[in-house]
Amino acid sequence: MYSPEEAAELKRRNYRSIREMIRLSYTVGFNLLDPSRCGQVLRIWTIVLSLSSLASLYGHWQMLARYIHDIPRIGETAGTALQFLTSIAKMWYFLFAHRQIYELLRKARCHELLQKCELFERMSDLPVIKGIRQQVESTMNRYWASTRRQILIYLYSCICVTTNYFINSFVINLYRYFTKPKGSYDLMLPLPSLYPAWEHKGLEFPYYHIQMYLETCSLYICGMCAVSFDGVFIVLCLHSVGLVRSLNQMVEHATSELVPPDRRVEYLRCCIYQYQRVANFAAEVNDCFRHITFTQFLLSLFNWGLALFQMSVGLGTNSSITMIRMTMYLVAAGYQIVVYCYNGQRFATASEEIANAFYQVRWYGESREFRHLIRMMLMRTNRGFRLDVSWFMQMSLPTLMAMVRTSGQYFLLLQNVNQK
């Protein structure tokens, strides 16, 4: 479909669409462009980050033990601990599935499935192919533009949340250091945690710096690992939707007047071969993300209710800092699941249109072999593609609405417990 020069330009253009995600992945220990380059060094960095974050669990546990009767405080402590534990799980999954994720991303960046499509080689002499190619390129460009928008929104949301947590703790500690006597104030770390042995050391080296390092590692992977991992899902999912839409456009021209009747069977066979490639790619994407996202969906059920509860507490105490922080957190955490469910719904909806595309061609006036192929494809496409969350649910808008309702129930439960 593409000449070598066009393929190289396409690869560069798609890289520019996701360059922020690619660069961020380096900072959490993954090279999405070439796994063999600096692979050992990056793996070591992944292990260092994850072990440092795991070490900070001690501080979270101590925080929970001391303030066990303070519902707002233990809620935020438990929520942030679960958030970075989920990020650690994603990092380790990334570590072991790095090659698989790289191959899927490479196929998407190079439009490999479109380049292998026989339609643009065997039928290249037909005038209809030029129009189909323009339609396909326009469709793929539109979905890559949507990919970039979603990644940037997600990135900026996570940056706002992590920056708020870090700068707020850093500024408050400096203010207390210069305005209060040593040992008379409590340290405020980026994430709510407590280290009893160093509680009265203030900003002394190395006690304060070790605590800040551990909590900053946890905070960083909460945001940036999410952008890197979920960003890959956005790329692969929307690329799959673009492939399905492109396939439908190819099928629509199967009985076009610009395709000679004696070549329509061959044209349809090329569309069927492309359908099989798209189906295999969709199955690989689903297998890659279906189980690891289950923990994220479970966590979000709790964290959405927690964020709403924290916002109500901040509103009741006139704490603007808590309100702003929880609003940003809810936007980032909510957008994370919206990305999965909204794109999963687009994926399922597009796949359901494949059968309709085959049925809508004027097959009733074609040869017996053509009609047989159409019947076969109607049977094969009876069940569309889908993205699953483990074996329990589908990434779709109904799933998103069910999660919103359940999170609201958690919020009411926390509010009732706090009032009692």
Give the integer Cα–Cα distance in Å for 335 and 341.
Answer: 10
Q: What is the chain's mean pLDDT, rounded?
A: 89
How confident is the model at residue 300, as a pLDDT?
Answer: 83
Does the pLDDT value for residue 50 go beyond 90? yes
In this predicted structure, what is the pLDDT of residue 404? 87
Q: What does 150-178 look like in DSSP terms, one character per residue? A: HHHHHHHHHHHHHHHHHHHHHHHHHHHHH
pLDDT in tens, 60-113: 999 999 888 887 788 788 888 888 888 899 999 988 888 999 999 999 999 999
**pLDDT surpassing 70 at residue 317:** no
Secondary structure of residue 96 in the 3-state scheme: helix
Which residue range is the domain that position 250 belongs to? 4-419
pLDDT digits (tens, 9 = 90+) for 240-268: 999 999 999 999 999 888 889 999 999 99
Which own/partner pairs from 133-139 qualify as long-range (CB within 8 Å, at least 24 positions apart)? 133/1, 135/246, 135/249, 136/246, 136/249, 136/250, 139/242, 139/245, 139/246, 139/249
Total domains in the fold of the chain = 1
Q: What H or E segment, with its residue span, contains residue 393?
A: strand 393-394
Rounded CA separation 21/225 (Å) = 10
Structure confidence at residue 406 (pLDDT): 86
327, two tokens: 């609003």
pLDDT at residue 316 tops 70 = no
| pTM of the predicted protein model | 0.93
**Cα gap 52→59, rounded to integer Å:** 12
**pLDDT range class, residue 319, cuts 50, 70, 90:** low
Specify the pLDDT at position 272. Answer: 95
Is the model's pLDDT at 318 over the cut of 70?
no
